[in-house]
Amino acid sequence: MNKKLDQYIEQHSTPEDPVLEDLYRQTHIRFVNPNMVSGHLQGKFLEIISLMIRPEYILEIGTFTGYSAICLSKGLKPGGRLVTIELNDELAAFAHSFFCRAGAEEQITQLTGRAQEIIPGLDQMFDLVFIDGDKREYIEY
Ligand SMILES: C[S@@+](CC[C@H](N)C(=O)[O-])C[C@H]1O[C@@H](n2cnc3c(N)ncnc32)[C@H](O)[C@@H]1O
């Protein structure tokens, strides 16, 4: 993005939540391909979309370290749930620790495996779906 535009958006956006700031930092310290994490501006955008829709049920494909799941969960209706699917089982404990720190562990259900195999077994309608897995597989999702 244009640097000036980037600065302008940063200056006019709500500051990043400290838990998300740490999640972003830890993701960069501990994982390969850390650039997959949503980050502040994308995360805020997702939060706004979710707050506008006020979904009861959200489906996310591609948890990675959990940044976008936390942002999306902020818009859930009271009692609502977010189901997030991640292929890589090494990420689950890390993401869960941040769901707890964000106070979102009751709202977020983590499923591990290939989204294409898990989704047909979900007996549920979703009000909001965030597809953020492997771009080559989107048509299958
Ligand atoms: C771009 S990252 C997700 C970033 C995360 N949504 C965020 O914004 O912080 C994509 C993730 O999708 C996962 N993934 C790729 N193919 C998948 C599949 N078939 N089913 C579930 N997860 C998949 C990858 O392991 C990776 O962690």
Confidence of residue 10 (pLDDT cuts 50, 70, 90): confident
Neighbouring C-beta atoms of residue 11, cutoff 10 Å: 7
Name the residue type at position 8. Y
Model pLDDT for residues 30-89, shown as the tens digit of each residue: 999 999 999 999 999 999 999 999 999 999 999 999 999 999 999 999 999 999 999 999
Tell me the CA–centroid distance for residue 78 and ligand 1, in Å.
26
**Dihedral sign, Cα of residue 47, residue 60, residue 87, residue 79:** positive
Residue-wise over 52-87: b if at least 16 C-beta within 10 A, else e?
eeebebbbbbbbbbbbbbbbbbbbbeeebbbbbbbb
Confidence of residue 6 (pLDDT cuts 50, 70, 90): confident
Tell me the CA–centroid distance for residue 66 and ligand 1, in Å.
10
Q: What are 64's two structure tokens?
A: 């990675």
pTM over 0.85? The answer is yes
Protein residue closest via CA to atom 8 of ligand 1 = 38
The Cα–Cα gap between 111 and 22 comes to: 23
Domains of the chain: 16-137 (3.40.50.150)
Question: Which atom, in ligand 1's list, is nearest to the CA of 118?
Answer: 20
Question: Which atom, in ligand 1's list, is nearest to the CA of 130?
Answer: 6
